Chain A
Amino acid sequence: MNNLVARAKELLNSNSVQVVIGYETGPTGVARPAFITNSEKADRLIYDERCVQNLAVYLTKHEVRKLGKAAIVATLPVMRSIMMLISEQQIIGENLVVLGISSEGNLLDIADIRVMQGIIEKSDLSNPPEYRELLAALNKMSPEEKFAYWQKELSKCIKCYACRQACPMCYCTRCTVEVNQPQWIPVQANTHGNMEWHILRAMHLAGRCISCGECGRSCPVGIPCHLLTMHLTDKVFNYFKVYAGTSDKMSSVMSTYEPNDKESFII
């Protein structure tokens, strides 16, 4: 992707940004995050179908922030994460250059937030097609089957918290699981406690998850935990007709009351 490299060089040479957050190829051939601070190293930047990690997670990381103003290679999920982070006041939009990538893989010219918003609004924001089949299959299960399915999957969890750490929306410096007065979630990785953790994680992301699937991709033991948050994305859309990460001024659906909110869950 020559124009991405050229744009990165231009931004770094003009000192418009101090770091470009993008992808490079690792020694075993996988694509991974790269932090380019020098235009001479910009040739390492790549973009192709292997580049799936949600890079927005780095926008709130202390040591990345310290590098200075950033440009970030942003596919749709990254753009939506950026919107969420701005609306939750974790980052300032003006301090960021977005190197948007279209669904066809082309570099987009994103002058400001409004342009990005326009791109997002024109996109399909529902859960990505590759997950729909599994989500539908889960939906068809009886509560007992669903419970058994998740019990089996979550018994594998080793509580490494890769799902949390990989998520751009899990930016809290002290997570609920790290609070011990009271101890909400057991420290040990047992099936019961693992379920509590994943349910809690999903609930905290309801209405905030932008369906990138990063939590599931990062799980070293292969738990499809993204299906939990994606399921809630569907639910939130059904109830409130909104998708997360569509505006920089979104209020959180789960913590805001609107007079026309559905109240069908109240008996």
Chain B
Amino acid sequence: MSDNIYKPYLMEIDNVIEETPDVRTFRLKFKNAEDAEKFTFKAGQFGEYSVFGEGESTFCVASSPTRKGYIECTFRKAGRVTNALANLEAGDTVGFRGPYGNTFPIEEWEGKNLLYIAGGIALPPMRCVIWNTIDLREKYKDITIVYGARTVSDLVYKHELKEWEERPDIRLVTTVDPGGQTPDWKGEIGFVPMVLEKLAPSSENTIAILCGPPVMIKFTMPVLKKLGFQDKDIYTTLENRMKCGFGKCGRCNVGKVFVCKDGPVFSYEQILSLPEEY
């Protein structure tokens, strides 16, 4: 890359998956082979994705660093850029800057049980670390994934949920909000905090990774505390509005912390030390 830290890589959309009516997953490949060769990232990092003429939008790299040669991102159509992205198809060009931010400390988690809890569109920022730890399966003990969405059609990565469900070395619990089920729905019915309480996973030697809408986090935290999880053993990602991605533009700051540099991954212990501006 040149000295221009704002200049994105040119990426070709290799594949588009329509996850839900308003959520898409793109598989992106570097147009320049040299860029592809040099590019590395770690689980938890994010990037700035752009449609030239519309602008940039921030989301996590949703694929695992163990899967080489491409990156994936999943986004919901919400604003100007994501709507423009959703109108693109395989073969089209987008921009990507990254990777930015810190990472999930997966080396520190080795030898522990992992409990992933996600709600709705918050599975994508966790998918990277989930696959990363699954691809290094022997390093971790039990892996449990609790994933909830409002309705069955709002569940993303349906093909992968099936794969995870079928694997004997992963415990997957899916749930939808009451009324969101279909006649053939075999998962749980209920909100994530309640399903988690019923499931009652042990906090012994376990790391909990939690991503979801603020209301889900609010009601899930007391459940985790009740199960005996320590603040330092609970991880989440903060998603403040960003522009530059590297601590210059002044937008994502929470107190003295730059979400783009010191985050997006934070332990709950760190979150408690921050002013409530996220």
Contacts and interface: CB of A to CB of B under 8 A. Distances in A.
B79 interface: yes
A212 to B, nearest CB: 34
Task: Give the bracket for the number of chain B residues in contact with chain A.
Answer: under 10
A183 interface: yes
Interface in B79-93: 79-80, 83
Contacts of B79: 180-181
A210 to B, nearest CB: 35
Main secondary structure of the interface of B (DSSP, over half): helix
B56 to A, nearest CB: 12
Contacts of A181: 79-80, 83
Nearest to A180: B80
Contacts of A183: 80
Nearest to A182: B80
Interface string A179-205: 011010000000000000000000000
Nearest to B83: A181
Contacts of A180: 79-80
A183 B54 CA distance: 9
Interface string B65-106: 000000000000001100100000000000000000000000
B250 to A, nearest CB: 16
Contacts of B80: 180-181, 183
Interface residues of A, number: 3
A222 B153 CA distance: 55
A181 to B, nearest CB: 5
B80 to A, nearest CB: 5
Interface string A159-182: 000000000000000000000110
A180 B79 CA distance: 8
Nearest to A183: B80
A185 to B, nearest CB: 14
A180 B83 CA distance: 12
B77 to A, nearest CB: 11
A31 B83 CA distance: 48
B86 to A, nearest CB: 13
Nearest to A179: B80
A181 B79 CA distance: 8
A173 B79 CA distance: 18
A187 B83 CA distance: 19
A7 B79 CA distance: 51
A56 B179 CA distance: 48
Interface string B172-192: 000000000000000000000
B81 to A, nearest CB: 9
Contacts of B83: 181
Nearest to B84: A181
A187 to B, nearest CB: 10
A183 B80 CA distance: 9
A39 B80 CA distance: 50
Interface string B118-147: 000000000000000000000000000000
A200 to B, nearest CB: 19
A183 to B, nearest CB: 7
B252 to A, nearest CB: 18
B43 to A, nearest CB: 32
A38 B80 CA distance: 47
A11 B83 CA distance: 53
Interface string A224-261: 00000000000000000000000000000000000000
A180 B54 CA distance: 9
Nearest to A181: B80
B241 to A, nearest CB: 13
A181 B80 CA distance: 6
A180 B78 CA distance: 12
A174 to B, nearest CB: 13
A179 to B, nearest CB: 10
A183 B79 CA distance: 12
A180 B164 CA distance: 40
Interface in A126-180: 180
A183 B84 CA distance: 13
A41 B80 CA distance: 49
A13 to B, nearest CB: 36
Nearest to A187: B55
B82 to A, nearest CB: 11
A180 to B, nearest CB: 5
A191 B80 CA distance: 24
Ranked 6 nearest A-B pairs via Cβ: A180-B80, A181-B80, A181-B83, A181-B79, A180-B79, A183-B80
Interface of A: 180-181, 183
6 contacts: A180-B79, A180-B80, A181-B79, A181-B80, A181-B83, A183-B80
